[in-house]
Amino acid sequence: MSHIIGQSLPNIPWQDKPQGYDMPVWRYTGNPIIQRHQIPSSNSIFNSAVVPYKGKFAGVFRCDSKSISMDIFPGFSDDGIHWNINPDPVHFEGDPDVTKREYRYDPRVLYMDGKYYITWCNGYHGPTIGLGWTDDFKTFHQLENAFLPYNRNGVLFPRKINGMYMMLSRPSDTGHTPFGDIFCSQSPDLTFWGKHRYVMGTVNGDVSAWQSKKIGPGPVPIETDEGWLLIYHGVINTCNGFVYRVGVALLDIDQPWIVKKRSAYYILGPQELYELAGDVPNVTFPCATLTDADTGRIAIYYGCADTVTGLAFTTLDELMQYMDDHPLIL
Ligand code: BMA
Task: Read off the pLDDT of residues 251-273 as tens digits, 9 standing for 90 and up.
Answer: 999 999 999 999 999 999 999 99
Distances (CA, A) of 292 to 12, 60, 139, 285: 7, 20, 28, 22
Residue 285, ligand 1, Cβ within 6 A: yes
- Residue range 63-77, pLDDT digits in tens: 999 999 999 999 999
How does the average pLDDT of the chain come out, rounded?
98
Instruction: For residue 206, give every residue at least 6 positions away whose Cβ sits within 8 Å of its Cβ, in sequence order, or none.
Output: none
Nearest alpha carbon, ligand 1 atom 3: 106
Distance 254 CA to ligand 1 centre (A): 30
* Per-residue pLDDT at 84 exceeds 90: yes
User: Given ligand 1 and candidates 45, 104, 106, which is best to mutate, with the most ligand atoms within 8 Å of its CB?
Assistant: 106
How sure is the predictor about 158, in pLDDT bands with cuts at 50, 70 and 90?
Answer: very high
How sure is the predictor about 300, in pLDDT bands with cuts at 50, 70 and 90?
Answer: very high
Ligand 1 atom with least separation from CA of 46: 10
Across 204-239, b (16+ Cβ under 10 Å) vs e yields eeeebbbbbbbbbbbbbbbbbebbbbbbbbbbbeee
Residue 235, ligand 1, Cβ within 6 A: no
pLDDT at 5: 98
pLDDT at 330: 77
Q: What percent of the chain has pLDDT over 70?
A: 100
- Residue range 208-254, pLDDT digits in tens: 999 999 999 999 999 999 999 999 999 999 999 999 999 999 999 99
- Residue range 29-40, pLDDT digits in tens: 999 999 999 999
Find residue 198's DSSP bridge partners: 183
Helix (H) or strand (E) holding 20: none
Q: What is the three-class DSSP state of 322?
A: helix
Residue 150, ligand 1, Cβ within 6 A: no
Residues in the chain: 330
- Concatenated DSSP letters for 172-185? --SSS-S---EEEE
303-322 mean pLDDT: 98
CA distance 207 to 168: 24
pLDDT at 248: 98
pLDDT at 190: 98
Find residue 263's DSSP bridge partners: 327
29-53 mean pLDDT: 98
First-to-last C-alpha distance (Å) of the chain? 26
Q: From the CB of residue 274, how many other CB atoms can be counted at a distance below 10 Å?
A: 18
Distances (CA, A) of 242 to 32, 36, 176, 177: 22, 22, 10, 11
Nearest to 232 by CA among 319, 330, 148: 319
Instruction: For residue 249, give every residue at least 6 positions away whose Cβ sits within 8 Å of its Cβ, in sequence order, or none.
Output: 200, 229, 230, 232, 259, 261, 262, 263, 323
Residue 120, ligand 1, Cβ within 6 A: no
How sure is the predictor about 1, in pLDDT bands with cuts at 50, 70 and 90?
Answer: confident
Residue 280, ligand 1, Cβ within 6 A: yes
299 φ/ψ angles, rounded to the nearest 5 degrees: -105, 130
190 φ/ψ angles, rounded to the nearest 5 degrees: 70, 10
Nearest to 306 by CA among 34, 26, 12, 2: 34
Residue 47, ligand 1, Cβ within 6 A: yes
Nearest alpha carbon, ligand 1 atom 9: 106
CA distance 254 to 257: 9
Nearest to 17 by CA among 299, 320, 305: 299
How sure is the predictor about 125, in pLDDT bands with cuts at 50, 70 and 90?
Answer: very high
Distance 96 CA to ligand 1 centre (A): 27
Residue 28, preceding bond cis, omega within 30 degrees?
no
Instruction: For residue 176, give every residue at least 6 positions away whose Cβ sits within 8 Å of its Cβ, in sequence order, or none.
Output: 242
Across 80-93, b (16+ Cβ under 10 Å) vs e yields bbebebbeebbebe
Distance 225 CA to ligand 1 centre (A): 32
